[in-house]
Structure 1
Amino acid sequence: MLSKSRISPTIRRTLDVVSQFSKGETFMKARRVAMAGGLALSLIALMGAAKTSNVNATSKAVAGGTIDYALPPATNLTWYFPLVNSSNDTVYNFQLIDQLYMPLLYINHDLGIDWKNSDATRVTYNSQGTIYHVFMNKKLKWSDGRPVTSADVLWDWKMIQATSAKNAPAPWPYEGAGTGDIPTGVKSVVPNGPYEFTVTLKSPANQQWFMYNGLNQLQPLPMQVWNKYPNNTLKEIQYLGAQATNPAFDSVVDGPYRLGKVVSSQYWTLVPNAKYTGGPLADSKIIMEYEGSNASEFAALKTGSIQVGYVDLSEYGAIGELKPIDNIWAGYNFGNFFLALNLHSNAENGLGPVFNQLYIRQAMEDAIDQNAINQDVYHGYAPDQYGPIPSIPSTQYLDPALKKPLYSYNPSAAKKLLTSHGWKDVNGVMTKGSQALKFTVLYTSGSQSITDMMVVIQSDLAKVGIKITLDPQPFATLVGTITNSADEGQWDAASGIGISYGGTYPTGQTEFATDGGLNFYGYNSSEEDKLIAATTKPTPSESQTLKIFDQYEYYTSQQLPLLFINNAGTIEAVQKDVHDVTTATLNPVTDVPLMQYWSVSK
């Protein structure tokens, strides 16, 4: 599938989650479509912090080597099935899954379709955007030798429909439901032979939006091993849900790797798939390593026990100590980063109705000094973000009017806004009647730079009478808390996370629409829904498409469904004996790397 938007402790195809900054931060991802990291678009900006040579010129790649790849701090991999529920829709789960199963459409670091790394070879569509004809690569085979066919896509479609039902049994429903017209906007999916199929929509759609966000969810799955109950769909999705957390479930794959030994909270081994038919065979085994903290990861970089990792920006001054590393550069995800307020009526401490007041969110946005966060915490690698589209990577989706903030850092204005609505300073805390602006903010643990950022935010808010208590939690724990629809009131605010568009078209449908799969915080706006819907419809010209998109983007930035904060880059660090880890193959824009092109020399 294409890259989804996910919670990454900041975007995969539906809501991939990722940790927020410098790989130590967490992001959620949205379903993959045409956005990168959640929405899909954005070139990666390289900002060399050191040399950018790729490898020792005298060394040669050796088949059979091992590359240790560092996961963000305190990030566990918890799900192994390509269809995912909301609490497991993270960038890092999909970084593993996407090595095992080829996407229908692979979205590259330029936010274009890379056909050579896709299941499809081409897609045609009509001018109305209602009919899409998909041609599949006839050479592709599963690791058991059977061909990858349209029947595998049709079975995936059947499972998407069943798991998307509101009454689907736990652990469902499917997180991608409601994104890209999937499944309710689809009239039919029919095969035209073993290597072709046609999707017909009920109403016209923006073709790029549907291809990136909807069509790309239709990924071939190995029906021959997973379809245990062909005559009982309910029993089948119960079975799939039960097996989704079982690493042994991925016994037949069509991607460049198969899953080897797994020890939860320690490591996940990707072994080259010797039967891979989608391109050149992988040379090296990849071990995705759990990291307890950014300090332990940095120590592993120093000793060479991590070959592909990152430098938390709290350790920026110590980069010179990384003797085994000679390839260091900055990469930016295409997504948005935020402090989420729980807008549900039953939010903890009775604050849901308070947070629903726009002036409260405006005052908090005014109070946060993004420039200080950028300079003092991230050494200039975390540009301010004023809305759902980042300034880096640079894309056509950024509204020129949002290159400057709608809400500039102004604590005096923030405090005045609160007092003008009846709030009074009582012992340093803004209070109105029995309600005090005092609450806990959950944030992802393990990264010192995230902790430093949260301390800055805590200090900034205190200046205007908003008292927050900081509660660091492992990424999976935090995501499980904030996405638990059965208990929406157990939290007040969360940060250190963001949405990665993950190669999808960045309409905001997943994140900001009332029924969006990643709208875990309870935002509800009919005007927002209308503006988002307009971005999904076909227009007579690209300029008209962008005009409509700008209207959605400006409104979202003005209404602050989330408090937008800095888009921090990741300082990528690659050992000198590892080859071909580049912006194209690491793909920080969408967070879907092409690990099969990496190799190691000895």
Structure 2
Amino acid sequence: MVGYKRTTRPWWIRISGIGSLLAGLSLTAAACGSTASGASGSTGQGVPAGYATFALHTGDSFSWVLPLPNEANFEPWNQNAEYGMYRPLYVAGNGSSPVIDYGRSLANPPTYNSTNTSVTVTLKPYKWSDGQPVTTRDVQFFWNLYVANKTNIASYVPGNFPDNVSKFTVNSPSSFTLTLKAPVNPVWFTDNELTDMFPLPQQTWDRTSLSGKVGNYDMTTSGAKAVFKFLDQQSSHLATYATNPLWKVVDGPWVIQSYDPVTGRVVFRRNDKFSGPLPRLAGYVLETYSSQTAEVDALRNGQLDYGFLPNSDYQLAGSLRAHGYTIAPWATAYVQWAELGYTSKRYGPLVRELYIRQALQHLVNEPLYLKATLHGNGQLTYGPVPNTPGSPYVTPQEKTDPYPYSVSAAKSLLASHGWTVHNGVFTCSAPGVGPNKCGAGIAPNEALSLLLMYGSGNSTLSAQVEAFATAAKAAGIRITLDPQTQNTMFSIGGVCPPGPCNWGIILYRTFMWNYGQGDVLPTGGQMFGKGNYWGGGYSNSTAQTLIQDTHTQPGLQPLYNYENYISSHVAALWFPTWDWQISVVSTKLHGWKPQQIFGDPTPSRWYF
């Protein structure tokens, strides 16, 4: 485990009204900060003619080419690039609509039997870049690898795909059928299960070494494990991305042309043998930056076609417009939340208590954060379903705050459950289980103290967590702030569960991708279901039943029941959801509107 540094709150934060004023001032300062010049990004390497440049968020870089993600690389920017090379059966997100884009998908709409216990998929006539047809053998290859190695694949949730499938049947080179173990909700299975399947080039990848012959190794469990191990190892060799022959065979519109393993800068060229509509660009470049300052400098210098403006530099929008850019907030169907360390030995007993989670939620001043730090570019968040305008999935309950900002309400909840204030911090004076008790596993005289790990290098996020910690201090809760780089956060937070969870709360810059490719209908199985990866180990039998109902029962009422429960149960701490970014796009670049609902820039649509 990577080591990390603890930090303490600045000495000038106080519980008094002056402290509250300072918190508000810190938010305003973050919103009005300026950018200094002098930093450098990756754009100095030159861009070929006919190529467009796109800026990844600060600290992000393309670091995984194999479209079978491990936990350390299960990230949206990786998936966006992967699916430009290896297209899934069904592509999530059609422009600004949270639905499947059947036009860009490799298969026709699926057909279910009358009892919803089997589904048949028919492939469109696509070809690999080596001229071989994309067939059901390639889907079977994916299936065999996934089934044999599912516990090593980050998208796997026990009970979901492939556990809910009893049989994979090849009907023809263009058709296959999945026999299901029980009836399913067809919308859920299509949107959240079939979107996670894609053909892999069996004729190239079904091997156990680069020098070995291609075979049918995947047809046995041991062979599928050996092939997966080989492919996984090859994907970890970043320096060979542009030269490894494995990654040259694609069925999508792009193929890697060059890759810088130091900066993560990657150049994609057009796959001229792509079976779908050919991109009008000759290629595109994913640019990487070590700081927001470097990215803004690249915009100022005209080195980027498609970048972003940090919230802390929002005042530069007018100047960038005057220099040939369009400013366009990018709203996405995501949800921002802070994970809670349910499986932590130290912090778990605290966050497992509902009244403590309710008290903490009372200390998140969402309206202030949205106005002062995000300039209104985002949505208020009160539960697990994206509160995007016009969404048919959000209930009336989730459109209003069940735990509005109130320091006094937080203090009242704690006092009524056996906590008393000593030296400004609540301590447990009534240990045990039952009414007016602190709760299971909370020791006598234990202080209500939590470690909050959050993404460093972003003044907007820093302002939010500092304001939250200030409010918590006013309520008698000690929050220790622990800023970390995103990679460090993944290495520490990403192993929990199963653990250890050496944090009480963890908050990323944005929660990035609760929904999108692989999880279109916001039913929450990957987030708050048993064995979840992003829920901090949240586990609740009622929630599990409600989630299962969304998988098996038709209509939207099961979804509404689930989201209302998770919202009121405070399965996570809800924070305002940021727009994915404030995009800054050259007026010379076209085809990028509307910005895709799940954060995929879809460069195959761009043109100059």
Range class of TM-score, shorter chain? 0.7 to 0.9
1:130 CA drift (Å): 1.5
**Where does 1:226-305 land on structure 2 (aligned, <5 Å)?**
226-229=205-208, 230-231=216-217, 232-246=223-237, 247=241, 248=244, 249-264=246-261, 265-305=263-303
Distance 1:459 1:394, change over 3 A: farther
* Larger-Rg structure: 2
Q: Aligned partners of 2:539, 2:108: CA distance in 1, in Å?
A: 39
- Equivalent in the alignment of 1:33: none
1:30-78 Cα deviation digits (max 9, x unpaired): xxxxxxxxxxxxxxxxxxxxxxxxxxxxxxxx99412111111111322
For 1:409 and 1:555, how far apart are their aligned partners in 2? 20
Deviates more, 1:197-206 or 1:240-249: 240-249
* Cα distance in 2 between the residues matched to 1:117 and 1:390: 24
**Which residue in 1 is equivalent to 2:329?**
330
1:96 corresponds to 2:112: no
Instruction: Give the whole-Å Cα distance in 2 for the aligned partners of 1:557 and 1:505.
Output: 17
Unaligned residue ranges in structure 1 (runs of 5+):
1-61, 166-172, 540-544
Aligned twin of 2:532: 516
Q: Percent identity?
A: 29
Spell out the pairing of 1:426-437 with structure 2 (5 A cutoff).
Answer: 426-432=422-428, 433-437=444-448
**8 Å CA contact 1:402, 1:554 repeated in 2:** yes
Distance 1:304 1:446 in 2: 24
Aligned to 1:117: 104
TM-score (norm 2): 0.82
In 2: Cα distance, 1:226 partner to 1:488 partner = 35
Partners of 2:62 and 2:264 within 8 A in 1: no
> Which residue in 2 is equivalent to 1:530?
545
Q: Name 2:40's counterpart in structure 1.
A: none
**C-alpha distance in 1, partners of 2:576/2:158?**
26
Q: Partner of 2:577 in structure 1?
A: 567
* Cα offsets for 1:287-331 (capped at 9, x unmatched): 111122222212211111121111111111121121434321222
Taking the TM superposition and a 5 Å limit, the aligned residue runs for 1:567-586 are 567-569=577-579, 570-583=581-594, 586=595
- Give the structure 2 partner of residue 30 of structure 1: none
481-490 or 154-163: bigger deviation: 481-490
Correspondences of 1:265-414 after superposition (within 5 Å):
265-322=263-320, 323-346=322-345, 350-414=346-410
Asked if residue 596 in structure 1 is aligned to residue 598 in structure 2, the reply is no
Relative distance call for 1:268 and 1:426 in structure 2 (3 A) is farther
Counterpart of 1:502, as a letter, is G
Counterpart position of 1:492: 504
Give how far 1:517 is off: 3.7
Counterpart selection for 2:468 from 457, 461, 464: 457
Q: 1:179 Cα shift?
A: 7.0
How far residue 180 of structure 1 moved from its aligned partner, in angstroms, is: 8.1
Mapping 1:116-265, distance limit 5 Å: 116-138=103-125, 140-165=126-151, 173-178=152-157, 181-229=160-208, 230-231=216-217, 232-246=223-237, 247=241, 248=244, 249-264=246-261, 265=263
Whether the 8 Å contact between 1:148 and 1:220 is mirrored in structure 2 is: yes
SS in 1 for 2:109: strand
> Relative to structure 1, is the Cα distance of residues 137 and 64 closer, same or farther in structure 2, using a 3 angstrom cutoff?
farther
Q: Distance in 1 between matches of 2:426 and 2:260?
A: 48
For the residue of structure 1 that corresponds to 2:375, the secondary structure is coil
Q: Distance in 2 between matches of 1:422 and 1:532?
A: 33
Deviations, residues 162-211 of structure 1 (Å, cap 9, x unaligned): 1114xxxxxxx112223783111101111111111111111100101001
The residue type equivalent to 2:585 in the other structure is V
What SS does the corresponding residue of 2:258 show, helix, strand or coil? strand
1:86 maps to amino acid:
E
Deviation for aligned residue 1:426:
2.5
- Tell me which residue corresponds to 1:17: none
5+ residue gaps in structure 2? 1-46, 209-215, 218-222, 429-443
State the 1:493 CA deviation: 1.7
Question: Residues of 1 paired with 2:182 and 2:600: CA distance?
Answer: 31
Q: Secondary structure at the match of 2:464?
A: helix
**Count of paired positions:** 519
- Contact 2:260 2:266 (C-alpha < 8 Å) held by counterparts: yes
Conserved? CA contact 2:333–2:386, under 8 Å: yes
Most deviating of 217-226 and 145-154: 217-226
Aligned equivalents of 1:150 and 1:137: distance in 2? Answer: 11
**Secondary structure, counterpart of 2:81 in structure 1:** helix
- AA aligned to 1:355 is V
Q: Which stretch of structure 1 is more off in the superposition, 154-163 or 76-85?
A: 76-85
Q: Which of 401, 413, 416 lines up with 1:417 in the alignment? A: 413
> CA–CA distance in 2 between the matches of 1:79 and 1:297?
23
Aligned to 1:548: 558
Kindly indicate whether residue 491 of structure 2 is the aligned counterpart of residue 480 of structure 1.
Answer: yes
Q: Matches of 1:574 and 1:361 in 2, distance apart? A: 41
Superposed CA RMSD? 1.9
- The structure with higher relative contact order (CA 8 Å, sep 6+) is 1
The separation in 2 between residues aligned to 1:238 and 1:261, in whole angstroms, is 25
What is the aligned partner in structure 1 of residue 64 from structure 2?
79
Deviation for aligned residue 1:282: 4.1
User: Normalized against structure 1, the TM-score is what?
Assistant: 0.83
Write out per-residue CA displacement over residues 347-388 of structure 1, whole angstroms, 9 at most, x where no aligned residue. Answer: xxx111111101111000011111110111111123210001
